[in-house]
Amino acid sequence: MSLHTLDAIDAARAIREKVLSPVDLIEALLERIERIDGRIQAWALVDRDGARRAARQAADEAARGAFRGPLHGVPFGAKDIFYSAGLRTEAGSKAMAGFVPDYDATSVARLKAAGAILLGKLQTTEFATTDPAPTRNPWSLVCTPGGSSSGSAAAVAARMIPLAFGTQTIGSNVRPASYCGLVGLKATFGRISTRGVIPLSYTQDHVGLMARSVEDIALGLSIAAGHDPDDPSSSRAPVPDYLAALTRRRAPRVGLLREFFERAASDVADITAQAVNRLARAGADIEEAKMPPTFRAVAAAAYVITRSETASAHAERFALKADLYRPGIRSSIEMGMLIPGDLYVRALRIRRQFRREMSLLLERYDVLLTPTTPTPAPEGMATGDPSFQVPWSISGLPSITVPCGLTTSGLPLGIQLVSGAYAEAPLLSAAAWCEDILGRASAPSL
């Protein structure tokens, strides 16, 4: 097996067993990046020298039996809105050109503390909104990888890195993961600290994870999750053993949200329905579920909340550098400035009611299931339709995508699973069970 194809947990195991050197792993990934990223353009910055130094240190420690944590010597990437000490963090924007933070985002710091090596920064749409990154989809270079975590999805899918951080405010982690044939998790709001992540919407920004297996996602979440006293939105909810949860997987009780199938393109609906039938034949208890009444208003509420909070988050920088902002983010800020306070408060009330209604619905199921996206990855630079992620972003509920098949044109599709707040353990367990039945996505041809 080529080293660049190793998943994170397999690489970590091989390093711990001293059959793989972190130095060799880093060199294999750097060679892979050098060979293919000119076509994919997933990386905003590759820290070759820093990664090599860290790999040599990790190798020396491993030789002495001194392992810092469960990801010792394993490389990862971070979307270029995550602060990284000593490395440029530019958020895909001229307004941030040359900015170098002096500390790591909490999520980045936690992976480093567990022995992981930050290989570099991954392309993002400008400030994680709609102005596209240059990144292309490894499955088809004429298609988008999705946004805003474009580089994260493309780099993991193209086997340039086994694990990456993305973010999701509306649909920016789960959607690109699906477009690129990956497993992508958006945990409950507050489960992973957003300290050191350039904000877009204070009450809807989520740190997300992308990998090629549910097991890697569970490992990454077990390290990144947990209360952060420096993040006011960080939850104090206990963090379970997510890897242990995978050992208890069983056929889940599934609420099938048919209205999402009806809004999907015919090929997406058909392939996802075939996947659902396979899950049912394997023992999943599947029944029709229906979204609550407030669902009709959540897209509008999410729009109001996001635009209002984007305007607030960017007020000072925009006042000084408005001419450096691209059209999409500029429009979001300017529209947010025009939203009256009473409309913003009304949107918050809709969100609170929707959360209450969803909590009642989820009492009946282990997970809810939808197609992850209405269509496969579209051609061109547009970042795709986030509408199937909106309900879970505005509610803060955890969601995950698992590959479920390919279209006739060879583009990957996923099923999206949703669970109750802080129920990532049963969500990951259900996702792993589905992964066992449906199989993992193959690698794109590059």
Active site residues: 79, 148, 172
Answer whether 373's CB lies under 8 Å from 388's CB: yes
Q: Which segments of 282-366 does DSSP mark as H helices, in order?
A: 295-313, 315-321, 327-338, 341-362
Q: How crowded is the C-beta side of 323, counted as CA atoms within 13 Å?
A: 1
Query: DSSP strand E in 21-135: where?
Result: 43-46, 75-79, 117-122
What are the CB-based long-range contacts (under 8 Å, 24+) for 279-285? 279/251, 279/254, 279/434, 279/437, 279/438, 282/251, 282/437, 283/251, 284/251, 284/252, 284/253, 284/254, 284/433, 284/434, 285/251, 285/252, 285/253, 285/254
Q: Which is it for strands 163-168 and 206-211: parallel, antiparallel or unpaired?
A: antiparallel
Tell me the DSSP string of 118-179.
EEEEE--SGGGSSSPPS--BTTBTTB---SSSHHHHHHHHTTS-SEEEEEESSSTTHHHHHH
B/e letters for 411-422, b = 16+ CB within 10 Å, e = fewer, are bbbbbbbbbbbb
Asked if residue 393 has a cis previous peptide bond (ω within 30° of 0), the answer is: no
d(CA 208, CA 357): 24
Answer whether 125's CB lies under 8 Å from 133's CB: yes
d(CA 403, CA 377): 13
Note the residue count of the chain.
Answer: 446
Answer whether 84's CB lies under 8 Å from 78's CB: yes
d(CA 22, CA 399): 32
